[in-house]
Amino acid sequence: MTRSLPLTTCACILLLATTACTRVPELEDQLTVDLKSADYPALIALEQAIAPLPLPDSQSTALEQQLLARSARLQQRARALNSASN
C-alpha cells in the first residue's frame, strides 16, 4: 500500500502536466490576426496599478460612524415596533 501512494502521486502530477500543455482550439480560434500579432502591453509598477489604501485611522473612524448610525436606526426601529405592539 505504501508503494502505490508515490506511484499514484506521480501519475497524477504527470496527468496534470500533460493536460496543462494541451492546446484548446476553441479558445485559439477566437483570437483575431490583429490580436495574435499585437505587442505585449507595457508593464507598469504595481503601485501605479492599484489605488492607495486609506489610512487605518480614517478608515476605522468612518466604519465606527457607520456602525453607530446603524445602531441608532435599529434602536429607533425597535422602539417603534415595541410601541406599535403595545
- Report the predicted TM-score, pTM, of the whole model to 2 decimal places: 0.38
Domain boundaries, the chain: 56-86
**What is the residue type of 75?**
Q
Confidence of residue 48 (pLDDT cuts 50, 70, 90): confident
| C-alpha cell read off for 45 | 509598477
Confidence of residue 82 (pLDDT cuts 50, 70, 90): very high
Query: Mean pLDDT across the stretch 18-30?
Result: 79
Per-residue pLDDT of 50-69, as tens digits, reads 888 778 888 898 899 999 99
- pLDDT at position 2 is 60
Q: Cα(19)–Cα(17) distance, rounded to whole angstroms?
A: 6
CA torsion through residues 74, 75, 77, 81, sign? positive
pLDDT at 68: 97
Output the CA torsion 63→64→66→71 (10° steps): 140
